Structure 1
Amino acid sequence: MRTLLAAVWLGAVAGAVAAPFAYVPNEGSGTLSVIDTRTDRVIAEIAAGSKPRGAAVSRDGTRAYVSDQTGNRLVIVDLAKRQAVGRVELGESPEGVGMSADGRWVAAAIEESNEVVFVDTRTDARAFTVKVRGKNPEHAAFSPDGRLVFVSAEDGDAVDIIDTDKRAQVAQVPVGARPRGIGFAPDGSRAYVAAENASEVFVIDTATFQIVGRVKAGLRANGIAVHPDGRRVYVSNGGDATVSVMDAARLTVEATIPVGQRPWNMALTPDGRKLYVACGRSGSVSVIDTERAVKLTDIAVGKLPWGVVIR
C-alpha cells in the first residue's frame, strides 16, 4: 500500500494533474507536511532542514524553497523525490520566503542582518541582497507584478519597500507595532499588513505608499491571505485562535471563525474555496470553507507549523 501511494503521488506531481497540494513547514519537527486539498489528508512528510519556516513552491509544482532558520540556508526540495536536492546559504536566521509571480526570484527575509536575499531560481544561487531599515524582518512579499517587495520588520512599526529593478529600498511606511503578515489585492493596487501588537490591519496604496485604511482585527493579528476575487481579506489572530474575514471594499470585519491555537500564516486554494491556516500550538492546519465562513476540519501535521503554501 505504501508503494502504491508513493507511485500515485509521484505520478501526480510529475504530470501536474493532481488537485493543488498544501505544503506546511513544521519548525518543531523539521519537516514539510504535504496535504492533498481534495481529501484534506497528509500524504507525505519531507525532511526540510532543522527549523523550517518560510516556504515557496515553483510554478510547475516540482520544487519547494524552504528557509531553515537555524541552518541559515534555503533548502531546495524536489517534490517528486521527496528530498532536499540543494541548499543556498542565506545569512543568520532566515524567516519568511516569497516568490515572484513569474517564478524567477525567491526573496528571503534575514532577521539578524536586517536584509532581504534574492535567489535566482534559474541558477539556484544568490543574486543580490538589499539592506532594509527595519529591524528583524520577518516577511518578504512580492507584489503581483513583481516590481515591489514589501518587508515587515517585527521589531518595529513600519514596512520597508524594495524596488526590484533598482535593487534598493525606495520607501518605508509606518504602520502599527510589530508588523507581520502581508498580502496584496489581485490587481496589486493595495497591500494589507497585519500589525500584531496593534491587533490591526493597515491598508497601503501601492502607488503612493500611503495608508488608506485601517481595520481592527482580533487579538494579535498575524497572517494575511487575500481571496482571488479581491473582495475578502483573511486575518489570523494568534491571541484568540480565530480568523477574521474582512470586507475589502467596506474595510469592516464581516465574520470571525474559530480555528486551532496560535494561528499563524495561511494560504488559499487557487479557486478561493478553501483557506488553510497553520495553527502552531495545536500542531494542526485548520481548513475553512470560505463561502460559508466555517471551519471544515483540523488536519494534524508536524510540530509547530509555521505557515502554508499551496500549488
Structure 2
Amino acid sequence: MRHTLLMLSVLTGSSLSALSAALAGQAPGGAGVADTPISHRDRVYAAEQFSNTVSVTDPVDNKLVGVIRLGDRQPGNLSPLYRGQVLVHGMGFSPDHKTLVVVSIGSNSVTFIDTATNTVKATTYVGRSPHEAFFTPDGREVWATVRGEDYVSVLDPATYQEKSRIKVAPGPGMTIFSPDGEYGYVCSSFTAETAVISVADHAIVGRVKQESPFCPNIAATPDGSQVWLTLKDVGRTMVFDARPPFSVLKSLDTGPITNHVNFARTPEGTFAYVTVGGLNEVKVFRTDDFSPVATIPVGALPHGIWPSGDGARMYVGLENANEMIAIDTATRKVVAHVPIGQAPQAVAYVSNAVPNGDGASGLAPLSTAGDAVHLAMRPIGKTGDAASTSVSLFEQGLTQVLQAAVAGLDPKSPYLLALSDKADGRGALEPLANFMTNPAGSAIVNAVGPIRQIVAPNAREQRRYLVIVSGSADKIGAPVQTQIE
C-alpha cells in the first residue's frame, strides 16, 4: 500500500488520469468495483417534485436529453380521477444499472423505470409518504422507507410486490447499504435514531443516536468503513463507524438546510461532498481526518448529489434554480449548468445506463416543466446582492408553487411570509404562510397562488413585494427580510 501511494505521488497528471480506472469504487459501489470513465452511455437523473418529472442528462456534453413524465402539474393532479404521480422525489438504481427506482411522496408510489428505454415497467403503491428507495447490493430487494409511518417496505424487484416490512422507529428517511451488502443503514426524519439492519434476516443489530430527529439523507463510503448522515434541521453532518459497535466518529457543523452527502474516490483520497441549501454551497471534507478542504458556491438551494462512475465529477441538483450542475473534483469548480425540471430533489448517476442507441426513446422535451421565476430576499438594512433567502415560483399554469429557502433568522422562532405594497416591507401586508424556523434559523416555506403576476419585477399592476416579518398572521411584527428587486 505504501509503495502504491508513493508511486501515485510522483506520477504526472496525465499518468494519474490513465490510472483512474484502477482507483476503483464510487458510491454506492464498493472499493473493489472498477471505475467507469464518463461516456455517452451514462445518464444523470434527477427527480423533480413540482413538475413531476425525471430529467435525463448525458454527462459527456452535459446536455439534457429529455424528461420522463410521471405526472401532471397542478391543478391537473388535484382531480379525483388523476392517475399520475405527485411530488416525484426519491431515487435509486439497480446494481446492473438497468432499472431506476423513483419514489413519489404525494402518491405513495415506487416506480420502476427501464434505463435503456426510459419506460415505466411497474408502479408499486406503498404506505403513507415514502421518501427514498434503494436496491440491496445483490439486487434481490428494494427497500423503500415509508417516512409517514414506521417501517421499511421491502419490495421484490422481479414481481414489484411488497414481500415484507421491517419495523423501525417512526419516520424512516432513507436507507443505504454497506458495499458488501451485510448492513442496511436507515436514518430517521422524525426520530433521533438510525437503525442498522442485517440484510440477510432483516433484524435490527444496532442503533445510532442522531443529534436531531431530521435526517433526510445517508451514504456509506466505498471502502465500507464509514456512514455519513445529514441533519437538515440543525445544520450538521454526523459520521459513524460502519461496523459494530457503530460508534459515532465525528459531528460536523455544515450549515443551515444541510441536504445530501456523497463521496468521490480520487487519487488524492476519498472526499465527502455535502450540499448546504441555506448557504447555497457544497462543502468538501476529507474522510480520513474529517478536515474541510473546500467550499464551492453553486447556486440556489443545492439538494441531491451523486458522483460520476470515475469520481471525476459530482452532479448536484439546484432545487431553487431548476438546474443540474457538474463539479470537477480535481479543481473543485463548477464546470457545467444544465436546465432541468422544477425543484430537483434526489440525483443519481448511472454508468452504462444506455448500452445501445441514443437513449432518447420515451423522453419528452423539457418544455413548461422547467418554467419558473427565481427571486431572492435579503435582511432589512443590507444592500447589494447578498441574499439570505432564495425564492422560486414554479409555474403550474395560472398559479405557481412558491418555495422559499429561508435562512439567517432566529432559531425556533415564528415568522410570516407575506406580500407588501411597499418595497421596504412596511406597507399593508397580505399573509401567505406562517412558519417556524428550525434550530439552525432556517426553513423551507411553501405557498400556492397567482403570485408571480404581482411580485415579478415586470409586474405592471398591483405590484407587491415579498417580505418576511416576525410573528404570525395573528400577531404581525417588524419586517426582517425583503425582496431584492
- Give the conservation status (yes or no) of the 8 Å contact 1:277–1:307: no
- Which one of the candidate residues 227, 231, 238 is aligned to 1:233? 227
Instruction: Looking at secondary structure, tell me which structure has more strand per residue.
Output: 1
More displaced stretch, 121-130 vs 266-275:
266-275
Distance 1:186 1:165 in 2: 22
More displaced stretch, 213-222 vs 189-198:
213-222
1:54-104 deviations in whole A, cap 9, x for unaligned?
Answer: xxxx98773211112111121111223433222222222110111112110
What does 1:39-78 align with in structure 2 at a 5 Å threshold?
A: 62-78=42-58
Distance 2:216 2:108 in 1: 20
| Structure 2 residue 76 is the aligned partner of structure 1 residue 97 | no
Q: TM-score, normalized by length of structure 1?
A: 0.77
CA RMSD of aligned residues (A): 2.3
The one-letter amino acid paired with 1:260 is G
Equivalent residue for 1:203?
196
Shift of 1:170: 1.0
Equivalent residue for 1:84?
64
Equivalent residue for 1:298?
295
| Structure 2 residue 96 is the aligned partner of structure 1 residue 112 | no
| Structure 2 residue 151 is the aligned partner of structure 1 residue 171 | no
SS at match of 2:304: coil
1:261-305 deviations in whole A, cap 9, x for unaligned?
Answer: 221221111357101111122211111110111222221112111
Distance 1:152 1:160 in 2: 6
Equivalent residue for 2:286?
289
Divergent runs of 4+, >6 A? 58-61
What does 1:138-287 align with in structure 2 at a 5 Å threshold?
A: 138-219=131-212, 220-248=214-242, 249-270=244-265, 273-287=270-284
1:101-157 deviations in whole A, cap 9, x for unaligned?
Answer: 21100000011221111110111111111121x211111111112221111122222
- Give the conservation status (yes or no) of the 8 Å contact 1:285–1:299: yes
Structure 2: state its 5+ residue gaps: 1-19, 27-37, 71-84, 309-485
SS at match of 1:203: strand
Shift of 1:221: 2.8
- Give the conservation status (yes or no) of the 8 Å contact 1:159–1:175: yes
Structure 1: state its 5+ residue gaps: 1-15, 23-57
Distance 1:238 1:159 in 2: 21
- Give the conservation status (yes or no) of the 8 Å contact 1:69–1:94: yes
The one-letter amino acid paired with 2:241 is D
- Give the conservation status (yes or no) of the 8 Å contact 1:260–1:298: no
Distance 1:61 1:295 in 2: 34
- Give the conservation status (yes or no) of the 8 Å contact 1:257–1:295: no
Equivalent residue for 1:38?
none
- Give the conservation status (yes or no) of the 8 Å contact 1:195–1:222: yes
SS at match of 2:176: strand
Distance 2:247 2:291 in 1: 18
Equivalent residue for 1:309?
306
Q: In structure 2, do the counterparts of structure 1 residues 59 and 291 end up closer, same or farther at CA, with 3 Å as the change threshold?
A: farther
The one-letter amino acid paired with 2:264 is T
Q: In structure 2, do the counterparts of structure 1 residues 307 and 92 end up closer, same or farther at CA, with 3 Å as the change threshold?
A: same
Distance 1:228 1:81 in 2: 27
The one-letter amino acid paired with 1:275 is A
Give aligned pairs, total.
258
Distance 1:107 1:136 in 2: 16
Distance 2:232 2:49 in 1: 21
Q: In structure 2, do the counterparts of structure 1 residues 229 and 236 end up closer, same or farther at CA, with 3 Å as the change threshold?
A: same
Equivalent residue for 1:9?
none
1:166-222 deviations in whole A, cap 9, x for unaligned?
Answer: 221111112222211221011112100111221211111112112111110221233
The one-letter amino acid paired with 2:52 is N
Q: TM-score, normalized by length of structure 2?
A: 0.50
Identical-residue share of aligned pairs (%): 29
Distance 1:233 1:128 in 2: 31
- Give the conservation status (yes or no) of the 8 Å contact 1:217–1:253: no
Distance 1:164 1:203 in 2: 22
Equivalent residue for 1:35?
none
Distance 1:295 1:205 in 2: 32
